[in-house]
Amino acid sequence: RKNLIHITTGSSALDELLGGGIETSSITEVFGEFRSGKTQLAHTLCVTAQLPKSVNGAEGRVAYIDTENCFRPERIVEIAERFELDPEEVLDNILVARAYTSEHQRQILQIELLVHIAAKMVEETFGLLIVDSATALFRVDYSGRGELSERQQKLNRFMSQLLKLSEQFNLAVFITNQVMSTPDGSAGMFVVDPKKPVGGHVIAHASTTRIMLRKGRGEQRVAKIYDSPMLAENEATFEVSSGGVID
């Protein structure tokens, strides 16, 4: 096995839950309802992945596939300041690609990002690849009756490519995922099931580590390991701050 690295999340409690942080050569999935902190965690990792290895970074660049127009450079600046990194440099090291359809999302991975990630120059070395969200565009593009099996097939192809990239280039892959919502009977109303990630067995199969997030009091968030063969199903509490994820 390659030199596996764990990238810190910014919270020592969450790091401990994950056995040290987000691991390279595998896919870590985070799922939870809206505002549960998935995107904030992704932004924090964009910065911590660039930290020296001695302080649980990956000393690498970051690729961010943004499907919901949620990438915020100004958040990166604040988080970089917390870690005493040069915000401009940190931003320069994040390659953001906006995806508009599920097919576009696949092409970005397969064509645009692959060129950069496969570049052998040391200054081009990537440590982290984020897909926020991995499933949202697939839900939109295959929302009709009878399209579920095609959606799952396409999603499976995307996840396989992700996994291959992560292993080939010793990348930490971090994906966000929504939870299922079902009509609650009243007109147009839906209830989310915070324990049911979208994508079923396709996502379950490809993700090595799955984190279920829920909101706690105030800015507190609770992370729980979901369905892991290796990690105990413990919980960790962290907070979202202006400097990103903290204890």
The residues binding ligand ATP (CB under 6 A) are 32, 34-40, 219, 240-242
d(CA 144, CA 128): 34
Q: Which span sits near Mg ion by CB under 5 A: 30-38, 73-81, 91-99, 207-215?
A: 30-38
Q: Which is nearer to ligand ATP, 14 or 117 (CB)?
A: 14
State the pairing for strand pair 190-197/179-183. antiparallel
d(CA 158, CA 2): 23
DSSP class of 238: E
Report the nearest approach of ligand ATP to the CB of residue 128 (Å). Answer: 17
Of these partners, ligand ATP, Mg ion, none, which one is at the site of residue 36 (CB under 5 to 8 Å by kind)? ligand ATP
User: Would you count residue 39 as binding Mg ion (CB under 5 A)?
Assistant: yes
Q: Which is nearer to ligand ATP, 5 or 130 (CB)?
A: 130
Q: Which span sits near Mg ion by CB under 5 A: 1-9, 14-22, 69-77, 103-111?
A: 69-77
What angle (nearest 5°) sits at the alpha carbon of residue 113, between those of residues 89 and 48? 40
Structure tokens at 218: 């105030």
Concatenated DSSP letters of 21-53? SEETTEEEEEE-STTSSHHHHHHHHHHHTTS-G
Report the nearest approach of ligand ATP to the CB of residue 244 (Å). Answer: 8
Report the nearest approach of ligand ATP to the CB of residue 231 (Å). Answer: 21
Q: Which is nearer to Mg ion, 70 or 77 (CB)?
A: 70
d(CA 142, CA 102): 9
